[in-house]
Chains A and B, each alone.
Chain A
């Protein structure tokens, strides 16, 4: 086919999107590094060059390590559950049974509802005199300070993230399951394989790339949690539920220490870039072919 478009046409079409990306992605990306070397603690309008001071402060701050640890706990608790439970549900829903659409709608509902409303709903479940403590005390245990006990707060917040993510990843798995050839299951059944055997030998190997994808997406989103924490605990008590993004927000917009917050943002950037690179290099090579 001959070139029916002018020399500048491709650039004209690309320009609006590129302008937005440059202003709101590329410049901020480099500026994040630049800001992390500036001192804004006196005034946000008069920054001074600070060298590595923000990083020194960051690496000497016990809260920084607490925040990293909390984020790491978030990852190791939420990611395996979000990779496995939705897969299990998707396998159950990937068949002609009565009410399958209704089940899908109900399980997907938490995904579309605003995270703020979800966090408020859970805050109410977690109330000191709330329904969860009623269940706990009925079982003969003592009340739990779901959001007020430093040993519990982080896990209570993680539960909300998991609850809100299950339906989303379930739909990704359901889409992937549609591509598994039915004949393989039939062959399995002829061999007399049971439910677990069948899915271990056919389903899981077949959708391995999707499992990897879900693992990376859920890991990256666990790195980015904010609203749950903002609405439910504000990172407390005693920093016990503070994660990276909440800490960035707090330092930047409550303490107005943009330099320190940017150093923290660089740490986040490095971690997420590493996770994404692993994903793209190993699992998604084929998704983005030019």
Chain B
């Protein structure tokens, strides 16, 4: 009890910060649950709806293809994660464990990409994607590939995996060689299983990044059926212009999957053990 009292100022600051962090969502949820007979601009504002209803959710669900957006987001985020895991670990392996000609220059070339913001090179990326016919106007599959490829690998991922491979004792490879493994077997059967924690960190941060990506899909996508969740949600504003009940309900609906993902994976985000996962 005494300790609680001593920590009281800290708790007050943290409670205020927590409320500020979630209030915009609380207010959005509150609006989304208010029925048509309740003025959403009422002065003073009410947090608890007096005309409680789920009609805005069913209404927006019927008019907007949320399942489609969700599936698109899953395909894009899933594909991006998978490619990042494969390409980053493959590239990280020789950079950590092998000697070869051009290692240094490869290393610095990859390092240099950290400094190039996607936003500065997105116009040529767009032209190249068009030239490769990786857009949804060709077909849906090409559309997905076009959404994924510019983010299929990152210097951040390669360095994260290289760091992980560096931490494995050399004896592991030596033992595998004695057992008659070739280089691919060493990579897949011996080394990869040992870097699972880093793969998990890479997967989770890539997933969050890809799931929330807005700029690139809003540039390349042309068909509503191909929209990912962020693009679809932004589109709600145009669809329902000033129907804030629907916009609010749609925004909240779109957020549910990532909140569930976050709560399941929270130890990776808030344990403080993800120091290596700092993204530039």
Residues of A within 8 A of B (CB): 1, 3-6, 9-11, 13-14, 16-18, 20-21, 23-29, 31-32, 35, 89, 92-93, 97-99, 101-110, 112-118, 120-122, 124-125, 127, 129-131, 134, 138, 163, 166-167, 171-172, 174-178, 213, 216-217, 220, 223-224, 226-227, 230-231, 245, 248-249, 252-253, 258, 261-262, 265-266, 268-269, 272-273, 276-277, 280, 288, 290
Contacts and interface: CB of A to CB of B under 8 A. Distances in A.
Contact of B27 (A21, A124, A231, A280): A124
B128 A109 contact: no
Contacts of B272: 171, 174-175, 177-178
Contact of A21 (B113, B123, B263): B113
Contact of B117 (A24, A163, A224): A224
Q: Is the interface of B mostly helix, strand, loop or mixed?
A: helix
B189 interface: no
A84 B29 CA distance: 30
- Scoring B94, B150, B278 by chain A CB atoms within 10 A of each residue's CB, the highest score goes to B278
A103 B219 CA distance: 37
Given A29-B116, A121-B28, A16 B124 contact: no
Given A20-B153, A21-B153, A121 B18 contact: no
Interface of B: 4, 7, 10-11, 13-14, 17-18, 20-22, 24-25, 27-28, 31, 41, 43-45, 86-88, 90-91, 93-95, 98-100, 103-104, 106-107, 109-111, 113-117, 119-128, 149-150, 152-153, 158-159, 170, 173-174, 177, 183, 186-187, 208, 211-212, 214-215, 218-219, 229-231, 233-234, 236-237, 244, 247-248, 251, 254-255, 258-259, 261-263, 266, 269-270, 272-275, 278-280
What 3 A-B pairs have minimum CB-CB distances, sorted nearest first? A28-B124, A31-B124, A10-B94
B266 A105 contact: yes
A14 B104 contact: no
A120 B233 contact: yes
Contact of A124 (B28, B174, B280): B28
A35 B124 contact: yes
A175 B251 contact: no
Contacts of A130: 41
B258 A268 contact: no
Contact of A268 (B111, B119, B149): B119
Contact of B121 (A10, A13, A28): A28
15 contacts: A9-B183, A17-B90, A23-B149, A28-B128, A114-B212, A114-B254, A115-B230, A120-B28, A127-B244, A174-B270, A227-B215, A252-B126, A272-B115, A272-B116, A276-B114
B258 A288 contact: no
Nearest to B244: A124
Contact of A24 (B125, B211, B229, B233): B125
Contacts of A288: 111, 159
Contacts of A28: 121-125, 128
B30 to A, nearest CB: 9
Nearest to A36: B123
B139 to A, nearest CB: 20
A112 B262 contact: yes
Nearest to A25: B113
B219 A253 contact: yes
B107 to A, nearest CB: 5
B214 to A, nearest CB: 4
B87 A16 contact: yes
